[in-house]
Amino acid sequence: MKHVTDSLTDYLDGLLNQEESAAIASHLKECSTCKQALAQLKELFGAFEQEDVLAPSKRVREHFLEALKSEQTTKVATTLENNINVLPKKSGVRILLKIAAGIALLFGAFMLGRNQNERQANQSLATQEYKMLEMQQTAMISLMGNQSPSKRIQGVNLITKFKNPDEEIINALVNRLFLDKNMNVRLTAVEALSMFAKSETVKLAFIKALATEKDPSIQIAIIQNLVRIQAQNAAEPMKYLLEQEDTQPFVKEEINRVLGEII
């Protein structure tokens, strides 16, 4: 039998069938050349097994995870586009992907349309909100003209619905403060106006009201508001109140207390 050196690798790897293996084993017993070749091959295989498996440094994983994360946040549309370019031409998959891209485009357009509808809906919602405010303003003003004081108070209190009330509403409230016969309505008007005390109109109204208002609790509410906004020209009407005989003593006390704070 001729030498079996060519088959020794398969023999060691166990790739031969029983018959072939047996033939080689019997040859090895008689042939020292092949026996030596086998020993050498075993040595080489041993070296393969002893070879260390190295681990790459941590940065490989870190960079990979970073790249993966940024890929995940990339827009779907762009990856789809790239992938079509990467694919070999004439591929059926390429055509399929083109169709898919078409569908995606269609879907995208649909979503865009939907989005626009939504925006329009939002716009009309905003318009409706605006109309609501308008209605509330009308309601407020009409309520304030109502015969029943409680309705008028209700109207005045509607002011909380407005973040930036227009001049008309402010004037309506000022009118309540000056003209309303019911003390409670006037007091509520002061409270409502105090939210907009920074406005020149309101400030002037407070100062003017101080001269005309006879109810002590409203006088005090106005005084406190004027002090809060540090209205310089409020001192004169306050001093005038001090001189009046019919001014309640506790109102005078209050004026004396706050006059220092103003000047």
Partner 1 sequence: MKELTNEELMATVSVGNLDMLKVLFERHHKHVFNFLYKMCGDKMLSEDLTQEVFYKLMKYRTSYNHGNFTSWMFTIARNSLKTHFRQHKENHEDISSVTYALTLVQDDIESDYSTLQKALATLSASDRELIVLHRFHGIRYQEIAAIINSTPGAVKTKMSRAMQKLKSVYLKAI
Q: Which residues bind partner 1 (CB under 8 A)?
A: 6, 9, 40-41, 43-44, 47-48, 50-57, 59-61, 63-65, 67-68, 71-72, 79, 82-83, 86-87, 97
Residue pair 1/22 in contact (Cβ under 8 Å)? The answer is: no
- Nearest to partner 1 of 81, 118 (CB atom): 81
- Nearest to partner 1 of 59, 198 (CB atom): 59
Integer Cα distance of 263 and 261 in angstroms: 6
What's the per-residue H, E or C state across 236-258?
A: HHHHHHHHCCCCCHHHHHHHHHH
Integer Cα distance of 63 and 56 in angstroms: 12
The CB-of-8 to partner 1 minimum distance in angstroms stands at 10
- Nearest to partner 1 of 67, 126 (CB atom): 67
- Nearest to partner 1 of 63, 119 (CB atom): 63
CA 76 to chain centre: 23
The CB-of-64 to partner 1 minimum distance in angstroms stands at 5
| Residue 158, both tokens | 């509607």
Integer Cα distance of 233 and 51 in angstroms: 96
- Nearest to partner 1 of 44, 125 (CB atom): 44
Nearest CA-CA partner of 173 in 161, 131, 187, 164 = 187
The CB-of-137 to partner 1 minimum distance in angstroms stands at 53
The CB-of-88 to partner 1 minimum distance in angstroms stands at 8
DSSP assignment of 117-133 equals HHHHHHHHHHHHHHHHH
Question: What are the φ and ψ backbone dihedral angles of 90, each rounded to 5 degrees?
Answer: 70, -5
Integer Cα distance of 24 and 4 in angstroms: 7
- Nearest to partner 1 of 77, 204 (CB atom): 77
The CB-of-72 to partner 1 minimum distance in angstroms stands at 5
The CB-of-45 to partner 1 minimum distance in angstroms stands at 8
